[in-house]
Chains A and B, each alone.
Chain A
Amino acid sequence: MLPEASPHADVRVVADSLRAAIATRYRESDGERYGITAEQFCGIVAAVVLRYAWDASEAEKIDLIGTLHIADLILSRACSHGNEAAWEVFLTRFRAPLYEAAYRITTDEATARELADELYANLYGFSGADGQRRSKLDYYMGRGSFEGWLRTVLSQQFVNRYRSRRHEVSLDQELEAGVGFAAPPATDERQPNDCVVTAVAQTLAELSAEERFLLTSWYLDQRTLADIGRQLKVHESTISRRMERLIGTVRKRVRKRLQGSGLSSRQCDEVMRDLDVRDLNVNVAASLKQETPLETFNK
């Protein structure tokens, strides 16, 4: 269970070796410019280490400290403390990119503005559960870039908003728009053979997390190869090659398991035709058992 997120930690719990690493990073930063003292900085970084590497080795903790985006972290905390110079820098650097990111996420100008304004309000400050004023900026921990974090927060906000409003669709509007409603699946629809289900389940269990991620992104989420490539920071053609190899591997292993369970070669061919994973267009309404919306957001 991860420790609760907190903007600051008690510096007394920080080991001397970590203090030295933190002090080095402070010297590289412009914390003094924004009124962040070395002690405050130590507390901020200690909170990050406590949150993400509480059970890691000392070397890993020092590595983590070395990878933090210190300049962004200082800026965010200075803004959170109300430092005007910091806010000036923040608005200069991030105001326009924030609105642009919101537009790319929502593809609608009005919704984008609403989303960005909502985030700005949270960044300026909101009342916490204990009645104290908190800023969303306190939750930026410097693991990734500040701009990247802002994009992720916007995305999370959008997903939460969509999930909370998906039941608020007007039926009349939907009908007028010509939206059809899918009929429930036929009850006599052929169900997969148990041995096929078992073979597929066992094959998928052998795959690595990344391979499962590729398959779910491709088949369940209907992402494009370019989208998946951007998420994994590899080229689209690399994803294409990986997918082809992966699908070939899945087919071979499933077939081998089916043959091992007693199916003849001809029977395997018939079964594999039903399991043809090369040309799939999935209606996730019935097959998804996760409690997630039917549609993806990046149409």
Chain B
Amino acid sequence: MRDCANADMRDLLPELVHERLDADARDRVATHVAGCAECATEVALLRELREALGATAAPGVDVSRIVAALPSAPRRGAGVRPAPSATPLDRRGWATPRLGWVAAATLALTVGVGSWQAFGRDGAPQAGRPAEVAVASPGAPAEPAGAARTGGDTPVEARGRPAAAPRPRAPLVGDLSVYSDDELAALLAMVEELEGVPSEETVDAEAVDTFTNDEEGR
């Protein structure tokens, strides 16, 4: 079996077999294959290989067994907090014991970074405000990349302010500042249910130099 000299066209043959080409590309490749014996042979081979490898490698999947082993879905609309109280801290529920470690860790990080910012690497006092550290959140990073989204460009839009009766669903995208109190509460509820690996959220670049984190050490 010989190879077609058109390497670019050969590269598209698996896409043709898997029907992943848009209409124009599909027509172009199909027209080429119709007139190229080498590519026609390779397409036939690819189909046979796909059949052979697909047929031989997967005897079956016990879906129910797998699903039974999965963690439970997050509570639907979980974490609607009581009405706002006097202090922002209370309203966001950070004072609750279950979130104590999150708050403590975040506060410690912020204070530590702030101290570093204030005193600099060499200990000399410096002007400036503390570095900002994003709060660890499971599915709502600072930038929309965390959203479950389509092919790569359009994030799922955050839900707007919920109606009074239904419990809000935790949004997956967007800057935290655009969230309503209910949506933030739902986000915090999701955090509560995590065993606590903070997300790889953005931190001030200078803070990374100071805090030896696991990624730097690998």
A joins B in a complex: no
